[in-house]
Amino acid sequence: MQSLGDPENNIPRLGLYENKIIQKAINISFYKNKRDEGVLYPEYFQPFPMAGVALILTVVEACIDEWSSGDRNDIPFNEPTFRPVYQNHLNQL
């Protein structure tokens, strides 16, 4: 496992955003079949936009939050709640 670093002492984190679930989520969301956006509009997805990666990471985080108690609790996925999460991921990318 790679080190998470020490943000208080400006030691960078390694391995962030390298989990395979990120690529799987991108593939399912944008490249699942020939009618998906990534296939129909490749000019917008090559390279894949960081905003799209940040959105996928925000969705993953929202799903984790829904199960954080051990039971699923519905958390509305809306802009007021998740914009700061999205913006944080986008800034870190």
> Which residues are CB-neighbours of 64 under 8 A, at least 6 positions away?
none
Q: Is residue 3, in this structure, part of any structural domain at all?
A: no
In a domain, 84, yes or no: yes
Question: What range defines the domain where residue 65 resides?
Answer: 16-92
Q: Which two tokens stand for residue 66?
A: 């829904």
- The reply to whether 1 falls in a domain is no
pLDDT (tens digit, 9 = 90+) per residue, 46-92?
A: 999 999 999 999 999 999 999 999 999 999 999 999 999 999 999 98
- What is the DSSP code (8-state) at residue 27? H
pTM of the model: 0.77
| In the block, residue with structure tokens 């999205």 | 86
- Residue 6 belongs to some domain of the structure: no
- Domain total in the chain: 1
> Using one digit for the tens of pLDDT, what is the confidence trace for 4-53?
555 566 766 677 788 898 999 999 999 999 999 999 999 999 999 999 99
Is the residue at 32 inside a domain? yes
CA 13-29-83 angle, 5° bins: 55
